[in-house]
Amino acid sequence: MNIVNLILAIFLPPVGAFLQVGASKHFFINIVLTLLGVLPGVLHAVWLVATDQKG
């Protein structure tokens, strides 16, 4: 788990998700979750970084 990705996932969830998975479905799901509320976007981005998802 990269610490920079984790920090970005907490403060800028879509950026952290994009750096982890690229322009995949998880990135777009994260954008929607972040628009619905910051906390769901943060949780999803941290989950992507913690589980080392690759798209």
Q: What does the pLDDT profile of the chain (55 residues) look like in tens digits?
A: 689 889 999 999 999 999 999 999 999 999 999 999 999 999 999 999 998 877 6
Instruction: Please report where in the chains the tokens 């906390």 appear, as a residue.
Output: 39
Report the 10 Å Cβ neighbour count for 28: 13
The pair phi, psi for residue 17, each rounded to 5°, is: -65, -40
The Cβ-side half-sphere exposure at 25, using a 13 Å CA radius, reads: 0
How many angstroms separate the CA atoms of 24 and 1, rounded? 19
Give me the pLDDT at residue 55, please. 63
Domain boundaries, the chain: 3-50
